Structure 1
Amino acid sequence: MTTFTALTTLTGKPAADALGAAMEDMDPTPMGVGVFEVEDDSGLWEVGGYFEGEPDEVALALLAATFGAKPFVVSEVPETDWVAHVKRELPPVEAGRFFVYGTHDADQLPEGRIGLLIDAAMAFGTGHHGTTLGCLKAYDRLLSDGQSFDDVADVGCGTAVLGMAAAKTGTANVIASDIDPVAVDVAVANMAANDMGDAVTCVTAAGFDDPALSKAAPFDLIFANILKGPLIMLAPDMAAHTKPNGIAILSGLLNEQAEEITSVYAQNGYNLLHHDQIGEWSTLTLGKET
């Protein structure tokens, strides 16, 4: 069955949510509908649907006009051998002592490296993106410098690859949280795939808003691989949940955003220890003052 996408943009979350809901009532019904903010400070939102078979373009035009959206762009999605695609596009990733790989590359795990099995999934964080890779490299450097951590939080965990890295290097108390329950389900599945049992506690939470996080705090190390806006918003909470002399590893940042984040966190008691860049993405390692 040929698959099609139908995409449009419009201004404002309420209108975008309403359009997404209306698309779900179309005939033929889309396989899925997504509503996403365009991350360029334009105020635009993207609404898209996936269809088995060509969608009703007249119905789409009426929906666009009703909700003040741009005309939908309908595209045919080429059939893809996803297993072959994953093998080709997601080769193993090496980050210091860490080796992130998919099931299809299990035989490539080098002796003496710490393997993190993460298959491509709906949640973000396979290690291939510059932000996740930057966080792993920053953490590896801290370990190489002789640092160790008793209590670690992975905020906005996605696949929980960062929390897993902490647990596999001796941290006894690791908690991973994400606002998306699907991501948390993926994180739990990754624990099982890596034979880690309950080595990482996985919870659905926005920022630090969960009793499990409050109970586990304060932390020696907090990973937050999210986005500029949430990082700014979380700065006071991050400081409140970090031990004196603790560390925060922040990413999800474009290089040009790093200076602003550094300044915001300096106002909340952090010093910049390292600023790493991978392509257009930055990772900041920050130390909390006493």
Structure 2
Amino acid sequence: MSDSGAIGPAGAPATASAADSWRVTLPCTRAEAEAIDAASDLAIDAVLMTTEEVEDDVERWRLDAYMDAAPDAAMLAALGALVPSAGGRAAEVVQLTDEDWVTLSQQGLEPIREGRFVVHTSAHPPTPEPGTRAFLIDAGRAFGTGHHGTTSGCLAMLDRMALDGKRFAKVIDIGTGTGLLAFAALELWPEADVTATDIDPVAIEVTAANATLNGVEGTRLIVADGTLDDAIVAHAPYDLVIANILAGPLVSMAPEIAAIAAPGATVLLAGLLETQREGVEAAYRACGCTVEARDRRGDWTVLRLAAGAERYVPTQPFDPKGRDGWALDI
């Protein structure tokens, strides 16, 4: 069983908290799950999560909606409209306690290893291994525990680049979530200047706490909408740009990401479904980038691109429309 993704109200980053929350569950298909995960404009005040219940069965998926109040008829109707394959089937409605949230946030999160990195939660400490770097990242208020293919794929891509001898002096992780990818970059290139940003102030708080917990020092943290922050722009260009968010924001942000990339910089993109890959690649090709590598993980794809030989200059003002729905990973 694998999680496809999760988005919060109107596409905002999902957060798990609070006693007496509620969960609504409906069956769905993979196509419906992909449409939900890719949407950036769902006006539903709930955290939405889609899950594959039977591996490789496109008809056996599940939609879970988490909310902080008992669902009314309008909420149930809105959720039902997202999954027409359910055929009007009555939704399962469950009230959750604090204990339920703790269990949900930690279940199945055994340590994972990608290259030299081991990512684990407090509930599942790893067995120490020589030559590895362990990061303690608990599930909770921000995304990026490493257990989703998007984040694990990025870790693998970063580790592979280091093994291939790539060196970076200035790194930015856009939509950092828990800070994991920024921490990994700093571990691989300890002399690098690393910036981690997120549109969600809670994610930056979580990243700061995780940095302390894992003994990571020197990461610059910025709350920002995309690259639209004076400190980010003033510090450009970056020779490694990481953005693990969603396809919609990646496309919308292509010109501004290209604009802060140094000539020939590496751009690492994740959070996109394979079905969305061509659209994302086209957006970045239009900004002078070329695809160097792809890493497909189930339905998800990680892209490594190279910026153009000359620094990209946008031809029109940036448009923040379309970038609702930031960090994806759980």
Same fold, TM exceeding 0.5?
yes
- On the 8 A contact 1:38/1:46 being kept in 2, the answer is no
Residue 179, structure 1, aligned to residue 177, structure 2? no
How does the TM-score come out when normalised to structure 2?
0.68
Mapped to 1, the partners of 2:132 and 2:169 lie a distance apart of 22
Query: How far 1:85 moved relative to its partner?
Result: 5.8
Q: CA, structure 1 residues 123+43, in 2 after alignment: closer, same or farther (shift >3 Å)?
A: closer
Q: CA, structure 1 residues 277+171, in 2 after alignment: closer, same or farther (shift >3 Å)?
A: farther
Q: CA, structure 1 residues 33+87, in 2 after alignment: closer, same or farther (shift >3 Å)?
A: closer
* Aligned-residue identity in percent: 36
Query: How far 1:212 moved relative to its partner?
Result: 2.1
Greater shift in the superposed pair: 155-164 or 99-108: 99-108
- On the 8 A contact 2:20/2:96 being kept in 1, the answer is no
Mark the runs of 5 or more structure 1 residues left unpaired by the alignment: 1-11, 17-29
Query: How far 1:78 moved relative to its partner?
Result: 5.8
Paired residues in the alignment total 251
User: Which of these residues, 274, 283, 288, is aligned with residue 269 of structure 1?
Assistant: 288
Q: CA, structure 1 residues 139+42, in 2 after alignment: closer, same or farther (shift >3 Å)?
A: closer
Mark the runs of 5 or more structure 2 residues left unpaired by the alignment: 1-8, 12-18, 24-34, 47-66, 81-89, 310-330
Query: How far 1:105 moved relative to its partner?
Result: 3.7
Write 1 or 2 for the structure with the bigger share of helix.
1
**Which whole-Å deviations, capped at 9, do the CAs of 1:222-268 have from their partners, x for residues lacking one?**
11001111111111111111111110000100011111211211111
Match in the other structure for 2:275: 256
Q: CA, structure 1 residues 87+156, in 2 after alignment: closer, same or farther (shift >3 Å)?
A: closer
Query: How far 1:192 moved relative to its partner?
Result: 0.6
Alignment of 1:38-57 (within 5 A): 38-41=36-39, 44-48=42-46, 49-51=67-69, 55=70
Mapped to 2, the partners of 1:174 and 1:42 lie a distance apart of 28
User: Which of these residues, 60, 75, 84, is aligned with residue 93 of structure 2?
Assistant: 75
Mapped to 2, the partners of 1:224 and 1:274 lie a distance apart of 15
Q: CA, structure 1 residues 50+221, in 2 after alignment: closer, same or farther (shift >3 Å)?
A: same
Q: CA, structure 1 residues 86+46, in 2 after alignment: closer, same or farther (shift >3 Å)?
A: closer
* Greater relative contact order (Cα < 8 A, sep 6+): 2
SS at match of 2:276: helix
Query: How far 1:172 moved relative to its partner?
Result: 2.6
SS at match of 2:280: helix
**Which whole-Å deviations, capped at 9, do the CAs of 1:68-105 have from their partners, x for residues lacking one?**
95799671246656666666411111111111112344
Mapped to 2, the partners of 1:40 and 1:228 lie a distance apart of 7
- On the 8 A contact 2:151/2:244 being kept in 1, the answer is yes
Paired AA for residue 219 in structure 1: Y
Query: How far 1:141 moved relative to its partner?
Result: 1.1
- On the 8 A contact 1:38/1:45 being kept in 2, the answer is no
Match in the other structure for 2:263: 244
Q: CA, structure 1 residues 145+45, in 2 after alignment: closer, same or farther (shift >3 Å)?
A: same
Mapped to 2, the partners of 1:104 and 1:40 lie a distance apart of 31
**Which whole-Å deviations, capped at 9, do the CAs of 1:37-70 have from their partners, x for residues lacking one?**
944559643234335xxx5x8xx34xx39xx957
- Give runs of ≥4 in structure 1 deviating > 6 Å: none
Q: CA, structure 1 residues 204+88, in 2 after alignment: closer, same or farther (shift >3 Å)?
A: same
SS at match of 2:45: strand
Query: How far 1:110 moved relative to its partner?
Result: 1.3
Mapped to 2, the partners of 1:182 and 1:89 lie a distance apart of 24
Rg larger for: 1
SS at match of 1:45: coil
**Which whole-Å deviations, capped at 9, do the CAs of 1:145-186 have from their partners, x for residues lacking one?**
100111000001100100000111224310000001111110
Mapped to 2, the partners of 1:42 and 1:182 lie a distance apart of 20
Paired AA for residue 174 in structure 1: V
Measured on the aligned residues, the alpha-carbon RMSD in Å equals 3.0
Mapped to 2, the partners of 1:100 and 1:157 lie a distance apart of 16
Match in the other structure for 1:123: 142
User: Which of these residues, 147, 170, 175, is aligned with residue 151 of structure 1?
Assistant: 170
SS at match of 2:68: strand
Q: CA, structure 1 residues 223+33, in 2 after alignment: closer, same or farther (shift >3 Å)?
A: farther
